[in-house]
Amino acid sequence: MALIEGKLEPGLVTDGIDYILNWARKRSIFPMTFGIACCAIEMMAVGASRFDLDRFGAGAFRATPRQSDLMIVAGTVTFKMAERLRRLWEQMAEPRYVMAMGSCAISGGPYHKHGYHVVKGVDRVVPVDVYVPGCPPRPEALIEALMRLQEKISTHTIARKEDR
Amino acid sequence: MTAKEIINLLEARLAGAIDASVSDGMHPHVRVKPGHLIGLCTFLRDDPALRFDLLRCITAVDYPQRNEIELSYDLISIPHVHALGVKVSLDRIGPEIESVSGVWAAAEWHEREALDMMGVKFLNHPDPRRILMPEDWTGHPLRKDYQDPAEYHGWEIKP
């Protein structure tokens, strides 16, 4: 989409293209398996049959960042892990999104005061689109976060280039 | 064998190696000097009546008030189903001891953790590097007098 992005004036044509593009993108978000700690268990629960994530089109977890759209950072990010996390995020193709799942990924969580090896929030490493509070967040909360991300995606437009 | 029998056998066969022993309670153990550790561990592993073939854990404990770091080895025997502890006291400044990774391969990673967290140097260790903290970290975090650095690679540590 880089060919026509930013080239057209906002109007009916771009609205139509936007509607179809966003509709397709938000209904087929491929998450990357980035379960680091306990929030990974809740993420697995969301991917399983009771709180099915596949009905949102987001059930195909890709192990490689090259094929994924969404990085759900589920768990505590340590300094050692943060360097690898940054590298994997840079390997994702745009449009890419990051969801900070759980209080450890949002702000360091229970380790905020005394954790000497914990990054106090994954937004110090990568830009975050959606924050999901909880320790761990309930599967319904993760699904709501995905729906908020879908709303965010539906506001995108190709009329002006996105700075992502 | 009960802990008492094990300790009696050790004191009979390796007289002079055992400094002290505790044979009842939750954690029966023997206390040795650092120089005797390898001989005792090889005997514990190879003697047919003892056969301590599994090193469950190596724990390093920091006692600043006694000015020592104590290493505690947890051994269990799978064929005979008995357990014993071995404790060694090291000086807190510059603690070093022979590595037992030649006796039990499991010791390799436990000793790397003791090096990383407490600063205990293990001689003849096949792979002496940090295991939990990043390679360029300074300091040993689980010591009682550990102070955090201000930041690491641009990320601040104390918020």
Alpha helices in chain A (DSSP H): 12-26, 39-47, 79-90, 103-107, 139-153
Residue A139: beta bridge partners? none
pLDDT of residue A1: 64
pLDDT of residue A24: 94
Please tell me the distance in Å from A38's CA to the nearest CA on chain B. Answer: 18
The distance from CA B129 to its chain's CA centroid, rounded to whole angstroms, is 17
Could you give the percent of chain A with pLDDT greater than 90?
Answer: 77
Q: Average pLDDT of chain A?
A: 91
Q: List C-alpha distances in Å: B24 to B2, B6, B20, B81.
A: 10, 12, 13, 17
Number of Cβ within 10 Å of residue A55's Cβ equals 9
Residue of A79, A108, A112 with shortest CB distance to B134: A79
Set of chain A residues whose Cβ sits within 8 Å of the Cβ of B155: 79, 82, 119-120, 124-125
**Contact status of B157 with chain A (Cβ, < 8 Å):** yes
**ipTM of this predicted structure:** 0.78
Q: What is the pLDDT of residues B6-28, one digit of tens each?
A: 999 998 888 888 889 998 888 99
Q: What is the pLDDT of residues B84-108, one digit of tens each?
A: 999 999 999 999 999 999 999 999 9
Set of chain B residues whose Cβ sits within 8 Å of the Cβ of A112: 159
